[in-house]
């Protein structure tokens, strides 16, 4: 039987401000910060980042893409990104010429590794695509790639879970 015991770090000392102000934070959905890195065709809003809550290692917020719209090609530098689909249908294109594609719907997660050129597309002509976005650093990084020429017919890629191959 495997040993699953872990040593847990000690509870940090109480901050000078006290747990009331330096403990758990609830960020209301109607108070997100839209003053964040933007990509054409997309609206991002920050909930969690260094400036808002002192987050050191992550960024979280929302992203909305209007019906039948798509972002420009871009990447997020050294950051890992996770997109969780709340509503609508996302079509992702990626690669040096955006030559690969996959789709995701409500309840699906999308993982985007560092430096991967990609494009988010709302696959619906009449429904807004609404997602939660998380990144592996406290500041949003969006590097637009206006000179990337996408190929017209990308290859559809189905993901195969390497831990559950059957």
The per-residue pLDDT for range 75-130, each reduced to its tens digit, is 999 999 999 999 999 999 999 999 999 999 999 999 999 999 999 999 999 999 99
- Kindly state whether residue 34 falls inside one of the protein's structural domains: no
Please name every residue paired with 94 in a beta bridge, in sequence order, or none if there are none.
100, 118
Helix or strand holding residue 51 (H, E): helix 50-53
- Report how many domains make up the chain: 1
In a domain? residue 119 = yes
Domain extent for 75: 46-156
Instruction: Report the half-sphere exposure of 57 (CA within 13 A, side-chain side).
Output: 0
Whether 40 is covered by a domain: the verdict is no
Residue 59 placed within a domain: yes
- Count Cα atoms within 13 angstroms, Cβ side, for 127: 13
pLDDT band at residue 147, thresholds of 50, 70 and 90?
A: confident
What residue ranges in the chain does DSSP mark as E strands?
43-48, 59-65, 74-75, 81-87, 90-94, 100-104, 109-112, 118-122, 129-135, 143-144, 155-156
78 domain-assigned = yes
Let me know if residue 101 belongs to a domain: yes
Identify the CA nearest to 117 among candidates 68, 150, 88: 150
Residue 87 sits at φ, ψ, to 5 deg, of -150, 135
Picking from 43, 40, 116, 134, the residue whose alpha carbon sits closest to that of residue 75 is 116
Q: Which CATH number covers residue 127?
A: 2.60.120.10
- pLDDT tens-digit readout, 46-63: 999 988 888 999 999 999
pLDDT at 162: 75
Question: Does residue 120 fall inside a structural domain?
Answer: yes
């Amino acid at each position: 039987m495997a040993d699953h015991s872990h040593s847990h770090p000690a509870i940090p000392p109480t901050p000078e401000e006290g747990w009331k102000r330096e403990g758990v934070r609830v960020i209301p959905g109607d108070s997100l910060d839209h003053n964040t890195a933007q990509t054409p065709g997309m609206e991002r809003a920050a909930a969690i980042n260094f400036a808002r809550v002192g987050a050191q290692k992550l960024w979280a917020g929302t992203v909305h893409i209007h019906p039948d719209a798509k972002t420009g090609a871009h990447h997020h530098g050294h950051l890992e990104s996770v997109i969780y689909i709340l509503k609508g249908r996302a079509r992702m294109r990626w690669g040096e010429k955006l030559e690969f594609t996959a789709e995701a719907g409500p309840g699906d997660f999308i993982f985007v590794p560092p430096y991967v050129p990609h494009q988010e597309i709302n696959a619906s002509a009449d429904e807004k695509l609404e997602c939660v976005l998380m990144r592996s650093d406290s500041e949003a990084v969006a590097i637009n790639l206006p000179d990337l020429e996408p190929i017209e017919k990308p290859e559809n890629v189905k993901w195969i879970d390497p831990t559950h191959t059957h």
